[in-house]
Structure 1
Amino acid sequence: MIEPKGETEQNLGLMRQIDEQFLETPFFGVRQMTWHLRNDGHLVNEKRISRLMRLMGLMPIYQKPNTSRPARGHKTYPYLLRGLRVERPNQVWCSDITYLPMRRGFQYLVAIMDWHTRKVLSWRISNTLEADFCVEALNEAIHKFGPPEIMNTDQGSQFTSFAWTDRLRRSAVRISMDGKGRFLDNIFIERLWRTLGSGPIDLSGRA
């Protein structure tokens, strides 16, 4: 976390604690975060925590609509990361799709991230939700970094499509999918979308 200039040591300490807690509970809004800090012995009010969270670009994460539904007839896979210690690059990758609101309609952004380093390995933008742009991003990441051991995604139709799963199987990648409705299983890439929503971000670097 970059420490903004002009903040007191006390506020910087609060911001570090907020950041650590937000990784564990990214659904915490200002009220819940204030309660958490008060229970930890900090004499803070919602106005102060609201300002600090806004300064840090922290917004509660809520599941995005319509991009995580499997298509009828598509195979889904079990979640493989529960209890797994991710200790090295290329052990686990994750991928997700988010909306980019435009003046007329939406564009869709897919990103592929290394779970250990939290580095964005590749990304693509599309004006449709066909699987092709996801597979293009996957091909680029594998070409640059070699295949991971495990790829984790939600159960969206792009990630249950034959084009996506066949590319992974041909590269001997184990396929992992979040449980239905469990968007927090893919927490690090959900955090990327939160960061993206708070302002400009370099997708070639760490989220």
Structure 2
Amino acid sequence: MSSAISGIELAQQLAQVRTEVRDLQRTVESLRHALEAAHVEKDRAVRAAETIAGQEAAQLKVAVAALRDELEHAQILREQEVQRAQAAGQDEIHQLRTTVAALRDELEYASIEQQTQVQAALAASANETAQLKATAGALREQLEMMRTRQEQTVQDERLVAEQEKQQLRDTIEAMRDAMDEGRKA
């Protein structure tokens, strides 16, 4: 019987092994499908990334082209401004030269007129200086007289003040003596 049991057990074990093999085959198949799905998803993600990268590259190319155009436009504008500034500078230089020539002529005329006026002013000044010197001399004499009077007045006031101080000292001395006499009595 042990061989019969062994046959049954063997059949059961064989069935169990076949079941495990089928389960493992299903698992392998499931994993294979999952792996294929992952590959498909990865390929889709790579294509999407490539598409996005291509779009970004295209956008960057457009942006670079726009910036290049803008830079060229800015350079053209700057060159035009430089040319305008140079033309304005040349025009201003011409105007300044014309103005300098006119001012030089005017200065020469003014210099001649000024020399004439200076000569007249010097003559008038010499006359006025003589008058001012005479006036200054007279004023000096008056000032000296006023100083002398003022010094005399100050000396007189000092003398009066000294006399008053001396009288007050004498009065104080007399009052002290009288108080001392009053205390002794």
Bigger share in helix: 2
Q: TM-score range by the shorter chain?
A: under 0.3
**TM-score by structure 1 length?**
0.11
Structure number with bigger Rg:
2
Larger proportion of strand? 1
